[in-house]
Amino acid sequence: MSAQTLSAPSGTGLPRSDAPPRPGRHVLSDASTMIGRSLRLVRREPDELLLALVLPVMIMVLFVYVFGGAISVGVDYVTYATPGIILLCAGYGASNTAISVEQDMSGGIMDRFRSMPVASATVLVGHVVASVVKNLVTTAVVLGVAYLIGFRADASALEWLGAFGMVVAYVVAITCVATFVGVLVRSAAAAGGFGFFMLFLPYVSSAFVPPETMPEWLRGFAEHQPVTPVIETIRGLLVGLGTDGAPVTDLGPTAAIALAWCAGLVVVFLGGAAWAFARRRRQ
């Protein structure tokens, strides 16, 4: 007497845990779920959220009231430095994304996602979107504090929109870099080391002093790294100033370079994160 294997009726709608997601199976729904999960994780870690809000205030006060009096850029220092402080704090916020991604990769949550009929790569999408939302909140805090201590923007509604778009493009770009780091490294400590790099990079740019004041060997790097054209674009849109604090009239080439940097970083590092994610899942 031979044994028979009974299969579940095809109309039951019960997914098999070992079955890959069907093509086009609610990918947007999966991404929405992972975005909501990442946002809830941010909300459930109040100490990290509090630090992300307090740090911009501390940095703004430090640079304006401690260093600002000793730095001459031709205008009020708060006017010159605010765009750089925005990007500095955005870099710190993105560095935390690397830690969150690494914790997901090394924890047991990925095993649970593999057993479910979901597009598990949407985990990365969730982290990217949550980081962008958190960093936009940080940006609003920076601008609010800057206005309280004297920053004034001479910008039209269209210029404000352009500056906002540039901030979003930069945050998305560095978050993709942080996501790649989080997938690649094998410990939270290594992922946290990325934060130092992201905090250091704006200092060697036009964020706080004109590159012309730097040594020749350092000036070349400051003028040709991605942060400088992004800062120059935001500063030019909001207050109409260039790198040296002088009025600027043509932002077209600078804005194009800034957007090219952001787009290149997104393509390279988001693609690298997807590749590293798929490779690590197979190990």
pLDDT digits (tens, 9 = 90+) for 77-132: 888 888 888 888 877 777 778 888 887 777 767 667 666 666 666 777 888 888 88
Q: Provide the 8-state DSSP code for 18.
A: T
For 24, left (φ over 0), alpha (ψ -120 to 50), or beta?
left
Q: Which residues make Cβ contacts (< 8 Å) with residue 68, sequence separation at least 6?
A: 77, 78, 81
The DSSP bridge partners found for residue 241 are 247
pLDDT of 118: 61
Provide the pLDDT for residue 3. 45
Q: Would you give the distance in Å from CA 108 to the centre of its chain?
A: 25
**Residues of the chain falling short of pLDDT 50:** 1-24
Burial of 48 (0-12, 13-18, 19+ CB in 10 A): middle
Q: Rounded to whole angstroms, how far apart are CA atoms 281 and 283?
A: 6
| Helix axes of 227-239 and 77-106: crossing angle, nearest 10 degrees | 130
The answer to whether residues 178 and 199 touch, using CB atoms and an 8 Å cutoff, is: no
H helices then E strands: how many in the chain?
10, 0
How far apart, in Å, do the first and last CA atoms of the chain sit? 42
The two most distant CA atoms of the chain are separated, in Å, by 95
- Listed residue (91, 92, 235) closest to 154, CA to CA: 235
Check residue 68 and give its pLDDT: 78
Distance CA 182, CA 59 (A): 26
Amino acid in the structure at residue 81: A
What pLDDT sits at residue 5?
Answer: 45
Q: For residue 7, what pLDDT is reported?
A: 43
Return the half-sphere exposure (C-beta side, CA atoms, 13 A cut-off) of residue 70: 4
